[in-house]
Structure 1
């Protein structure tokens, strides 16, 4: 009898990656296809949904080909995507305009209007104190309705990257309990925030949202026959419901129990913990009931620009050098980068300030500093932002006893150690660095009936490999960290309205 496999598909900010996994969670092959982002104005970020689909088709076909397996051996697939990548579809299911992806924060004014509307659904935003994030579904939808009324009237569906891809795969339009719980202000699977929509002037949005909401791992449908032919797969393959990439990454690193936290790194950083009790606190998002594991609550912190900041530095000031070369230069410097400190808010701040208008900075530069100082300072600033988030969570009532890290930071031994030293806690790593893709493979195995639930599948498919512990230099970051914490308030006090968009 031939071996059987599942496909996990991870739709990220810069590319879509498809992975073929066996039923023990071993990666067999990967393929990735990049797509572009357009930045029409500062704080704006758009992508073409057709590019997502082309990337999926190419990556899935290449991954299956690379695995040297028969398409009939694929038992199922699932997809995660970036969250709050909002698009409008016409009556034929075609995109009306480019999608406003997650990092698009043009709707800052609309976010303020949502907060002013007031509703119990807003308790997940810093215990109702706000502000509401401009990244989220409702502010973006309000911006589209206000600024593009003709497109809004034409739109039969307002949905996310996740919903659009599942629709293209199966012909069924539905939403994920994960996305609606963490970004649409839904209260559980059925709790649409109708009062909040009415107060914000968005009552018609409820009719444009997908009607059905599915649990993680629940079968959306089987592949549409034409799509199956396009992908080279059987039309009998079930598509299991996925969700937001970082949250599905929680499953991919085995965070399914209370007290654990998944530290998902990449273009942005997400800090996602599980609690058996609900709570709401200033500076943290959540908790979200049933958004991942039924009966448990997800607490969230996050940084908008992390790996993207380091990528900006390399692209702008060191295009001819590899990350390895830059890390080698930075490794020769002491902790604290000889007094150079950066603020990582190049695309605003998600938590604990939720300020779309905050921007990045370097301070302490002298003629004696080099690009290595700036590169290291950026890496340190990102880790300091993570430390601040974990401290804010602790003040709110959640202190994780188990932190599992995955994603882009694992590619840099220096950055890994910087994170452990600045945070001051051990960081556990798992075998598969692409946690969202493995998380999708786990959901696909549940949808295919291989395992009974997410917890059982994660136990069988996730394995830890090593732990990065804080070094003897950890305490040397205390003073630079104190300076870092003061930067946001200091820069906000001199911010010029309208000049930093």
Structure 2
């Protein structure tokens, strides 16, 4: 075996591109990042520019290779993951026809609700609701609300597919993404053509690339122009990636039944691996074969978690001062507030709720304010609401005999021991912290090692390339106290949900613009609004 082999994991995240260079043992020898911008044209909308991804990816990879001091000839393969359900519409020449619709965008809520009305068998992995974040509702939104763009769009792909396309010139689809976000089921005939027809997308599979590749499959050599832009050898292999959080499961060695990944960042995800084809109402899945063949992934997610903390820092952080330590200082002050935030209760539904309610018309909330409360109390309540959202998912799984006894964590929360301890205490389970915290990028590097032929499977590669650092144990006394406050969190949702739905309907559409019921969907003959240069 070639011991000088190295692999690049390219993580296309919400805030920017991150590239790591790792060896066969999973040691990260270099890492570089480059940010890109997200725009929010309307409430609930979020867009990015695909050209920005590519520019950031090239800069990050080139810098990481330079920092590593490794010859490009020794980098055997590269694999890229991307944010899940970030829709890229391309014309016949592979050029974007509009800005990418980011994963967190919920403009397609009406389409998602109407899709549920079909009660089609394709919905078995999302019985309580279709997420407006997913690709099919977003494509349907384009067809109904931007028909001219839809007609110009020859292909629809995910962010990871687009990055692979820019690296190779080959347009492929990742099995990983289409299984957990496009209603594809390789065990039940593949594409649900009948379902697509019911919702008004009967011709849509003709706009999907034909070649479907599993995570870790080789796509081919990098294109010369891409190799030059990234500072790589033209002999470097490009390997199929997938959804960022699912790729992180590999980077956390969650490749066997009974193990659970806990992905933290702008959003949180709880991802148990199981060998049981079991449905849990309120939880997405079971998604077959999308990471490891013959196994299933269950998915419970929070749309807003780290993004709430970031919002507070950006808009309210000035209340605790400025400077490089402002972020850490505001968290320290929140950490000094007593458990339960002296009676403040918050809901973490700032971009709706993904699981277990699957309700994108919910909004954030904060109540219980008195004149004794300070901004630190408010932040403490917001932080607790994020942990309660995770606990809500775990309780839903437990009620249906999917017990999560420990979680392996990665992402933003690992930088703040206080937040990890809060999650362990609220959920009452140990949280395992790996040595390499950038599990998503490491997972892509592991996929690259498999695609280059250095390991026979993702499970084998992860067992060799992932190592545990320490475990955060829960304080069960505090777990009992948090349980009392959690009841207020759950009851607050029940009390406010109807009001939140009224508010969402109030701003959803202008008078006279209501969507028609299936099978005839209203199509507005509007010119596309002016877009930023792609």
The normalised TM-score by structure 2 is: 0.91
Q: Is the 8 A contact 1:158 1:205 kept in 2?
A: no
* Alignment size in residue pairs: 498
Q: Is the 8 A contact 2:8 2:78 kept in 1?
A: yes
Aligned to 1:366: 370
| 1:324 shift after superposition | 1.0
> Which residue of 483, 494, 506 maps to 1:489?
494
Aligned to 1:412: 416
| 1:499 shift after superposition | 4.2
Q: Distance in 2 between matches of 1:493 and 1:119?
A: 27
What is the root-mean-square deviation in Å for CA atoms of aligned residues?
1.3
| 1:328 shift after superposition | 1.4
1:187-266 matches, cutoff 5 A: 187-188=185-186, 191-266=190-265
Aligned to 1:13: 14
* SS of alignment partner, residue 438 of structure 1: helix
Q: Distance in 2 between matches of 1:345 and 1:273?
A: 22
1:388-427 matches, cutoff 5 A: 388-427=392-431
| 1:473 shift after superposition | 2.1
Q: Is the 8 A contact 1:279 1:397 kept in 2?
A: no
| 1:143 shift after superposition | 0.2
Aligned to 1:144: 142
Deviations 1:288-317 (A, max 9, x none): 110110000110100001000011011111
Q: Is the 8 A contact 1:16 1:56 kept in 2?
A: yes
> Which residue of 450, 457, 465 maps to 2:454?
450
Deviations 1:368-423 (A, max 9, x none): 11111111111111000000001101112311233111110001111111000000
Q: Distance in 2 between matches of 1:311 and 1:500?
A: 25
Deviations 1:331-382 (A, max 9, x none): 2221111111111100110000111111001111111111111111111110
* SS of alignment partner, residue 410 of structure 2: strand
* SS of alignment partner, residue 374 of structure 1: helix
> Which residue of 333, 336, 339 maps to 1:335?
339
Aligned to 2:162: 164
Q: Is the 8 A contact 2:76 2:452 kept in 1?
A: yes
* SS of alignment partner, residue 494 of structure 1: helix
Q: Distance in 2 between matches of 1:93 and 1:106?
A: 25
* SS of alignment partner, residue 399 of structure 2: helix
> Which residue of 167, 182, 185 maps to 2:183?
185
Q: Distance in 2 between matches of 1:2 and 1:259?
A: 32
Deviations 1:226-284 (A, max 9, x none): 11111111111111111000010111000001011100000000110111110112111
| 1:500 shift after superposition | 6.0
Q: Is the 8 A contact 1:108 1:356 kept in 2?
A: yes
Q: Distance in 1 between matches of 2:374 and 2:186?
A: 51
- Between 214-223 and 400-409, report the one with greater CA deviation: 400-409
Q: Is the 8 A contact 1:359 1:500 kept in 2?
A: no
Aligned to 1:387: 391
* SS of alignment partner, residue 396 of structure 1: coil
The normalised TM-score by structure 1 is: 0.97
| 1:4 shift after superposition | 2.2
Q: Distance in 1 between matches of 2:277 and 2:405?
A: 17
Q: Is the 8 A contact 1:260 1:402 kept in 2?
A: yes
Aligned to 1:294: 293
Q: Distance in 2 between matches of 1:262 and 1:24?
A: 21
